[in-house]
Amino acid sequence: MEKVFDALIDSFIENKIGISEFFLSKKLSRELSANLLTHFNDGNLALAGTGTSAKINSSNPIRGDKIYWLDRSHDNESENVFLGIMDAMVIYLNRTCYTGITDYEFHYTLYETGTYYKKHIDQFTNNDRRKYSVIFYLNEDWQTVDGGELSLEINHQTVKINPTSEKCVFFKSNEIEHEVLVTHKNRLSITGWLKV
C-alpha cells in the first residue's frame, strides 16, 4: 500500500486535499458497501448528530446522514481488512510525516436521496483531537446527475468531488470548509478521522 499512501500524501501536500481515485480495491469497496447496506436494512444506522451533543433538529437539519461506527468487535473480515489498512496508513504517516497520530475512528455513512450536509469543518469547538479527515466512497456507477458531491473551499476556490467508489479524500480537519451537496441517490461511504 505504500505507493498508494505516497500518492495520497503527495496530492495532499500539493493541493491541501489529498485525492486518490483508486485507494481501496474494487473487491473491498464492494464488500464494505454490502456491509453498509446490510446494516442499513437491519436498522443499525442512526441519524448523525453535530457537535458533541447529538442534537437533531429534523425541521432544519444541518446533516441528514445515517451512520454506524466500525469496530473490530464486529469480527467482520472486510471491516478488519479496512481497519488494517488504516493501521498501516497511520504508521506510514507517522514515520514519513511525523504526524503523531495515536488513534482513529471511522463510521459507515449513508445519505438517503434528498439529504445533504451543510457547510462545516470537522473539528469540534471543545475538542481538537481530530487532525485529518479521511473519506472513502463506496458508490459504483455514480453519475454527475446523481449529485451528492463533496464540495470544498480551497484558497477561495470551490472543488467538487464525485463520490465514486474506490476513491479516498484526505484533508486537515480544522482547516477545510466543506459540504455534501444534495444527493439524488442513496450515497454510501466510510468517513473517519485520524486523531492525536
Q: Which residues sit at the interface with ligand OGA, rule CB under 6 A?
A: 109, 117, 122, 135, 150, 163, 178, 180, 189, 191
Taking the least distance from each CB to Mn ion, the nearer of 65 and 79 is 65
Least distance in angstroms from the C-beta of 157 to ligand OGA: 18
CB of 121 to ligand OGA, least distance (A): 9
Q: Where are the alpha helices (DSSP H) in the chain?
A: 2-15, 26-41, 77-97
* Integer Rg of the chain from CA: 16
DSSP for residue 93: H
According to the binding rule CB under 5 A, does residue 65 interact with Mn ion?
no
- Residue 51: closest CA among 38, 63, 67: 63
Largest CA distance in the chain: 46
**Cα–Cα dist 55/47, whole Å:** 10
Name the binder of 150 from ligand OGA, Mn ion, none, CB < 5-8 A by kind.
ligand OGA
**Which residue is listed with cell 486537515?**
172
Closest approach of ligand OGA to the CB of residue 60, in Å: 18
**6: how many CB neighbours lie within 10 A of its CB?**
13
- Write down the least CB distance from residue 40 to Mn ion, Å: 20
Q: Could you say whether residue 122 binds Mn ion (CB under 5 A)? A: yes
Site string for Mn ion, 80-119 (x = CB under 5 A): ----------------------------------------
Instruction: Decide which of ligand OGA, Mn ion, none touches 165; Cβ closer than 5 to 8 Å per partner kind.
Output: none
> Closest CB to ligand OGA among 64 and 92?
64
Q: What angle do CA 173, 175, 178 make, to 5 degrees?
A: 75
Minimum Å gap between C-beta 42 and ligand OGA is 22
Report the C-alpha gap between 70 and 105 in whole angstroms: 8
Coil, strand or helix at 40: helix
Which residues of this protein are in contact with Mn ion, per CB under 5 A?
122
